[in-house]
């Protein structure tokens, strides 16, 4: 297919938090011109000391191999944020450009939360594209700034030819139960207000765009019902 729009969306589980039954996931978008766009890269190959909650599964490299792709086939890595379960393998994609919100990249430079993954995301600037807010990256592929979980977190809207619009909130809304306009019992969280504002932004988007499927960032119950690679949404 020659038309340069989104053709396929693959879902890949690359790890878990076994104690909490939480999946760690990545996504791959394929365009009509053959470009491969990876969304996040999962856990590091070797977990840093103290990160005992996470467990690697079939990692992103193996998942990509299962659909016939090598790391160098990835043209772009959409980086939703630099937490260890989202940016752990970024450096494996040596031909890729990275797309991240400027606010996040700048914050990460001095935020100890992202120090463990720094060797993964701290690339030469000619390989990083910094975004300022909501951006249509390619036809059918939009990035939605959703701060709260961390400054400059971004979610992804994918418009597929058959399935229609699908929303990937990533960690803006990790669990389906949180996707509500109801007040949340999280007053002790200093980011509660920003999280709520981003949740509202995504709920408005779902209504406006009549989005049929929202894939929450870490929702095991929902994950079990979804198609995973090598199957895909189209
Ligand atoms: Zn996460």
Does residue 187 have a pLDDT over 80? no
2-11, 193-202, 212-221: range with lowest mean pLDDT: 2-11
Q: Is the peptide bond before 53 cis (omega within 30 degrees of 0)?
A: no
pLDDT band at 114 (very low <50, low <70, confident <90, very high): very high
How much of the chain exceeds pLDDT 70, in percent? 99
Beta strands at 213-216 and 164-170: parallel, antiparallel or unpaired: parallel
Per-residue confidence (pLDDT) for residue 2, from 0 to 100: 46
**What whole-number distance in Å separates Cα of residue 180 and Cα of residue 193?**
14
Over 50: is that where the pLDDT of 180 sits? yes
Averaged pLDDT, 189-197: 91
- CA–centroid distance, 67 to ligand 1, in Å, is 24
Question: Mean pLDDT across the stretch 119-131?
Answer: 95
How large is the average pLDDT for residues 114-137? 95
**Alpha-carbon gap, residue 32 to 180, rounded angstroms:** 35
CA of 170 to the centre of ligand 1 (A): 7
CA distances 119 to 11, 84, 116, Å, are 25, 11, 8
Residue 161 confidence (pLDDT): 96
- Ligand 1 center to 94 CA (angstroms): 23
The domain made up of 6-223 has a fold known as: Metallo-beta-lactamase; Chain A (3.60.15)
185, pLDDT greater than 80: no
pLDDT at 122 over 80: yes
How many Å lie between the centroid of ligand 1 and the Cα of residue 217?
Answer: 7
Placement of tokens 């000391």 in the chain: 49
Q: Are strands 6-17 and 36-39 parallel, antiparallel or unpaired?
A: unpaired
If you measure from the C-alpha of residue 1 to the centroid of ligand 1, how many angstroms do you get, rounded to a whole number?
A: 34
DSSP 113: G
Is the pLDDT assigned to residue 186 strictly greater than 80?
no
- Candidate from 17-21, 82-86, 230-234 with smallest mean pLDDT: 17-21
Q: What average pLDDT is seen over the chain?
A: 95
Q: 225 or 4, which is more confident?
A: 225
pLDDT given at position 44: 95
C-alpha span between 68 and 87 (Å, rounded): 22
The three-point CA angle 78-84-88 to 5° equals 60
Q: What percent of the chain has pLDDT over 90?
A: 90
């Amino acid at each position: 297919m020659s038309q340069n729009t989104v053709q396929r969306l693959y879902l890949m589980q690359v790890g878990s938090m076994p104690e909490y039954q939480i999946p760690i996931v990545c996504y791959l978008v394929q365009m009509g011109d053959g470009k491969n766009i990876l969304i996040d890269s999962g856990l590091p190959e070797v977990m840093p000391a103290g990160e005992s909650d996470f467990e690697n599964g079939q990692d992103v490299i193996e998942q990509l191999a299962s659909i016939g792709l090598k790391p160098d086939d990835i043209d772009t890595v959409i980086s939703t944020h630099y937490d260890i379960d989202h940016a752990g393998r970024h450096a494996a994609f040596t031909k890729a450009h990275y797309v991240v919100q400027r606010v996040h990249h700048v914050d990460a430079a001095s935020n100890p939360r992202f120090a463990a993954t720094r060797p993964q995301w701290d690339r030469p600037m000619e390989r990083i594209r910094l975004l300022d807010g909501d951006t249509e990256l390619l036809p059918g592929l939009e990035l939605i700034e959703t701060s709260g979980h961390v400054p400059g977190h971004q979610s992804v809207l994918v418009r597929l030819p058959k399935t229609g619009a699908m929303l990937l909130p990533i960690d803006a809304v990790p669990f389906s139960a949180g996707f509500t306009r109801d007040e949340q019992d999280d007053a002790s969280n200093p980011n509660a207000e920003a999280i709520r504002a981003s949740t509202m932004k995504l709920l408005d988007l779902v209504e406006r765009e009549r989005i049929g499927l929202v894939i929450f960032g870490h929702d095991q119950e929902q994950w079990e019902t979804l198609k995973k690679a090598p199957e895909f949404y189209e």
